[in-house]
A and B are shown apart, each in its own frame.
Chain A
Amino acid sequence: MLAAILALAILAIIFGLLLGYGAIKFKVEGDPVVDQIDAILPQTQCGQCTFAGCRPYAEAIAKGEADINQCPPGGETVILALADLLGRDPKPLNAEHGTHGEKTVVIIDEQVCIGCTLCIQACPVDAILGAAKHMHTVIKSECTGCNLCIPPCPVDCIHIVPVGTTLQTWTWPSPRDEHVHSA
C-alpha cells in the first residue's frame, strides 16, 4: 500500500517537473505591448479608427501601421497615455476620424420600433435586447456610445442622449483629466 502511494507520487512529481520545464521551454509569447495598448483604449468597439474594434487597432499601433491619434471616444486622454507608453510625441486628434465629445448612449423610441433586429446585428457589444417583430431596447449600462446602430435603423427610432452626471455617477475630477485640459 505504502509502496503504491510512494511510487505513484514519485512518478507524478517527475511528470509534473517535466511538464513544468516544458511549459517554460515551449512558452508561447503573445505580444505584451498589444495588451497594454488595448488596456488604454476605451473599448467602445466603435470602429471610428477604421479598424474593426479596439483590439485590432491596438495590434495595428503595435505594428506601426496606425497612428495614435485615431480614437475619438478616447480623445486627448488616450492619445497622451499612448504617447507616454510608446515614447512618441503626442499629437492632436485626427479630425478625419471624428471629434471627441461628451459620453453619450443611445435610446430606442419604443413606440416607433418595428422589431427588425438590424440594430442588434450592428451592436458590437450586444447592448441591444430584442427579437424579431418585438420591441427592442438598449441596456444603458452596456452601451458604449459608438452609434453604430443608428445607420441601419430603417425607421430612425434610435436617438443619441448624453449621459448626464447624476448623484450616483459624479466623482471628483481626476488630476489626470485636469492635467490634460490644461496641457
Chain B
Amino acid sequence: MTEYALILVSTILVNNFVLVKFLGLCPFLGVSRKLETAMGMASATTFVLTLSAVLSWVVNTYLLAPLQLEYLQTLTFILVIAVVVQLTEMIVHKTSPLLYKVLGIYLPLITTNCAVLGVALLNIQQEHNFIQTFLYGFGASLGFSLVLILFAAMRERIMVADVPTPFKGASIALITTGLMSMAFMGFAGLIKG
C-alpha cells in the first residue's frame, strides 16, 4: 500500500513531469492563459494520459513482449496515444461543444504532448505492473493538472500586474515557470530514491 502511495506522491510532486522532468511544456504554456481552459485541458489530459498509459502497458505486455517486438514500442505507443486522443476529441465534441471550441487545436495536440509518450515508455522501463502503471499514469496526469492550474491562476494575476515592458508576454511566463520549477525541487528530499 505504501508503495502505491509513494508512486502517487512521487509523480505528483517529487518527479513532476512538467517542472522536474520538463515534459509537456507546450500545452503548459499554450493553454494556461485562462483558468477555465486550463481546467478543461487538465481534465482532458488526465483522461488521455491515464488511459494511454494503461493501454500501452497492456499492448506491450500481451502483444509486443510475447512476440519479442519490444523495438516497436515507440511506434506502437504513438498509435495507442493517437487513438485515445481521437476518442477523447469525439467525446468532448459531443458532450461539451464549448470546451471543444475553447481547447481548439490543443485538444488534438495532446497527441504530441511528450509527457504522454514519456509516461508510457517510463512505465515499461521501470518494469511496473498493471496497478503501478495505472497509478503512475494517473499521478503524472494529476501532477500535470496541478501545475497547469496553478500556473494559469498565476498568469491571470500577472496579466493585471505591472510587468516591465521587456518581460511582458512569454518571457514573464517562462520566468514564472522557472521559479515554480525551483520551488518544486524543494520536494526532492521528500522521498529517497
Cross-chain contact of B63 among A11, A12, A26, A28 (Cβ < 8 A): A11
B59 proximity list for chain A (CB < 8 A)? 11
Q: Does residue A19 face the partner (Cβ distance < 8 Å to B)? A: yes
A20-39 interface code vs B (CB 8 A; 1 in, 0 out)? 00110011100000000000
B90 proximity list for chain A (CB < 8 A)? 22-23, 26
B80 proximity list for chain A (CB < 8 A)? 15
Q: Are B75 and A8 in touch, CB under 8 angstroms?
A: yes
Q: Are B93 and A7 in touch, CB under 8 angstroms?
A: no
B65-94 interface code vs A (CB 8 A; 1 in, 0 out)? 001010010011001100100110011011
Q: Are B67 and A26 in touch, CB under 8 angstroms?
A: no
Q: Are A15 and B83 in touch, CB under 8 angstroms?
A: yes
- Report the minimal beta-carbon distance from A16 to chain B, rounded to whole angstroms: 9
CB nearest to B68 among chain A residues: A3
A4 proximity list for chain B (CB < 8 A)? 67, 69, 72
Q: Does residue B64 face the partner (Cβ distance < 8 Å to A)? A: yes
A180 proximity list for chain B (CB < 8 A)? none
Tell me what chain A mostly uses at the interface: helix, strand, loop, or mixed. helix
A-B contact count (CB 8 A): 40
Residues 9 to 68 of chain A near chain B (Cβ within 8 Å): 11-12, 15, 18-19, 22-23, 26-28
In the complex with contacts A18-B87, A22-B87, A7-B94 CB distance below 8 A = no
Q: Are B67 and A7 in touch, CB under 8 angstroms?
A: yes
In the complex with contacts A8-B72, A12-B79, A19-B87 CB distance below 8 A = yes
A15 proximity list for chain B (CB < 8 A)? 79-80, 83
The distance in angstroms between the C-alpha atoms of A127 and B97, with both chains bound, is: 33
Q: Are B76 and A8 in touch, CB under 8 angstroms?
A: yes
The distance in angstroms between the C-alpha atoms of A8 and B97, with both chains bound, is: 34
A27 proximity list for chain B (CB < 8 A)? 94
The distance in angstroms between the C-alpha atoms of A15 and B93, with both chains bound, is: 19
B72 proximity list for chain A (CB < 8 A)? 4, 7-8
- Report the minimal beta-carbon distance from B14 to chain A, rounded to whole angstroms: 34
B64 proximity list for chain A (CB < 8 A)? 7
- Report the minimal beta-carbon distance from A13 to chain B, rounded to whole angstroms: 11
Q: Which 4 A-B pairs have the closest CB atoms?
A: A26-B90, A26-B94, A15-B83, A3-B67
Q: CB within 8 Å of B: which residues of A?
A: 3-4, 7-8, 11-12, 15, 18-19, 22-23, 26-28
Q: CB within 8 Å of A: which residues of B?
A: 59, 63-64, 67, 69, 72, 75-76, 79-80, 83, 86-87, 90-91, 93-94, 97
28 example contacts (A-B, Cβ-Cβ < 8 A) are as follows: A3-B67, A4-B67, A4-B69, A4-B72, A7-B64, A7-B67, A7-B72, A8-B72, A8-B76, A11-B59, A11-B63, A12-B79, A15-B80, A15-B83, A18-B83, A18-B87, A19-B83, A19-B86, A19-B87, A22-B86, A22-B87, A22-B91, A23-B90, A26-B91, A26-B94, A27-B94, A28-B93, A28-B97
Known: A7-B64, A15-B79. 17 other contacts (CB 8 A): A3-B67, A3-B69, A4-B67, A4-B69, A4-B72, A7-B67, A7-B72, A8-B76, A11-B79, A15-B83, A22-B86, A22-B91, A26-B90, A27-B94, A28-B93, A28-B94, A28-B97
